[in-house]
């Protein structure tokens, strides 16, 4: 059975909560998923999975958070051709670049050859009650997707 990774960077717990909800959606679909903080493993470990989802919060005006930088830079060493990926995260709409770190991460994964889902999940702060099911659906759709990943 395919195994999936959901990795995240979270300072306030918002992106971690989104990641947990995504894992709920994946496991409810009958798949296995590992949930890890990007500070607890090396980026090369993504190669051990069928596919992976990366969650990152946006710091300031569209920047990557400090604790995510090592992971982000480690991606430069990887050939991700044939790996499916998706990106999600939290941000603050008061900034010009809402969830800019999500966009930066998706671009990096594409540069490294990953098949990145065109759908990205961007949540302001933590998910509201009505957004929680959207987070679970995001995980379900990713692991059950086929041709729509490009």
**pLDDT per position as a tens digit, 60-88:** 889 999 999 999 999 999 999 999 999 99
Segment 19-34 mean pLDDT: 97
What's the distance, CA 51 to chain centroid?
11
Q: Which 8-state DSSP code applies to residue 118?
A: S
Among left, alpha and beta (phi > 0; psi -120 to 50; other), residue 13 is left
3-144 belongs to which CATH class?
alpha beta
Helix (H) or strand (E) run with residue 15 in it:
helix 14-28
Segment 83-103 mean pLDDT: 95
Query: Which sequence spans correspond to the domains of the chain?
Result: 3-144
Q: Is the pLDDT of residue 150 over 80?
A: no
């Amino acid at each position: 059975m395919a195994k999936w990774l959901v990795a995240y960077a979270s300072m306030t717990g918002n992106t971690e909560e989104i990641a947990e909800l995504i894992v709920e959606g994946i496991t409810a679909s009958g798949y296995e998923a590992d949930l890890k903080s990007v500070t607890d493993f090396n980026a090369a470990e993504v190669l051990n999975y069928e596919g992976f989802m990366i969650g990152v919060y946006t710091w300031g005006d569209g920047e990557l958070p400090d604790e995510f930088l090592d992971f982000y830079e480690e991606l430069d060493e990887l050939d991700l051709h044939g790996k499916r990926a998706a990106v999600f995260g939290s941000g603050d709409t008061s900034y010009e670049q809402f969830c800019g770190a999500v966009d930066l991460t998706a671009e990096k994964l594409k540069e490294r050859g990953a098949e990145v889902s065109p759908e990205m999940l961007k949540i302001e702060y933590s998910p509201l009650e009505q957004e929680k099911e959207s987070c679970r659906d995001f995980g379900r759709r990713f692991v059950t997707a086929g041709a729509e990943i490009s």
